[in-house]
Amino acid sequence: MCGSIFHTAMYHKPKALLRRSVINNLESARAERGIKPKSRKKKTPRAIAKDKAWAAFSMYIRIRDSLATTGTTDFCVCITCAVRGHTKPKEFRHIQAGHAVGGRGNAVLFHEEITNGQCDYCNKQGKFGLSGDYGNYAIALIKRYGLEHTEELLRLKGKDKQYKIHDFIEIAAKYKQMTIDLIAQA
């Protein structure tokens, strides 16, 4: 270094200290106004069980559809992309378990016929996705199950179903085993 006051370490605070001082200033300003710091909510045992059940179900759906569309667990053809004519398989990491109805409730959450492998672009909400692409999803379901059965499936959205913790534990165990069996058959 040249020794100039602009290049000496004693006149420059490390970035970590600057960030910490900004955070401290924000915290003290919030405290002066009486705003309590936000604390993370701990998940309830029911929420944890639901997450585990969803993870097992989602994995089963994605592997089921990957094997059905490409014969491998590495790639999958998205159900809604296929309706639009885009049959190029997507990598497994880009596949989600997408539902045919928006704002899904518990009645369709773990329903195998209404949940299929869908790419993250088609399933993603907002400006970076197609928000479920429900029109093409309905076309795919009608081709697969017929109009009457598809209408019955879509009506399930309005139904109410209550799950207890033990239900989620059973669902998780069931779909873990079904996934193992599916992979063993492949």
81 and 173, same domain (yes or no): yes
At 158 the pLDDT is: 84
Nearest to 169 by CA among 82, 49, 75: 49
C-alpha separations of 180 from 94, 135, 172, 184 in Å? 21, 33, 12, 6
Asked if residue 174 and residue 133 are part of one domain, the reply reads yes
* Boundaries of domain holding 35: 1-39
Provide the number of structural domains found in the chain. 2
1 and 54 belong to one structural domain: no
Within 10 A of 86 (CB to CB), how many other CB atoms are there? 13
pLDDT, residue 122, reads 95
Q: Could you tell me if 79 and 27 lie in one domain?
A: no
Residues in the chain: 186
Task: Say yes or no: 13 and 69 in one domain.
Answer: no
Residues 131, 161 within the same domain: yes
Structure tokens at 131: 């928000």
127 in the same domain as 81: yes
Under DSSP, the state recorded for 84 is T
Quote the pLDDT of residue 16. 58
Are both 18 and 100 inside the same structural domain? no
Asked if 157 and 92 sit in the same domain, the reply is yes
For the chain (186 residues), the mean pLDDT of every run of 10, in chain order, is 54 57 68 70 93 97 97 96 95 96 86 96 90 94 96 90 96 98 92
The residue written with tokens 């989600």 in the block is 96
For the record, the structure tokens of 61 come out as 């759906």
Q: Is 140 helix (H, G, I), strand (E, B) or coil?
A: helix
- Report pLDDT for 102: 84
pLDDT of residue 10: 52
Q: How far apart are CA 154 and CA 170, in angstroms?
A: 25
Antiparallel, parallel or unpaired: β 90-91 and 75-76? antiparallel
In a shared domain, residues 90 and 181: yes
Instruction: Kindly state whether residues 121 and 84 are assigned to the same domain.
Output: yes
Residues with Cβ within 8 Å of residue 57, at least 6 apart in sequence: 97, 110, 115, 171, 172, 175
89 in the same domain as 57: yes
pLDDT of residue 126: 84
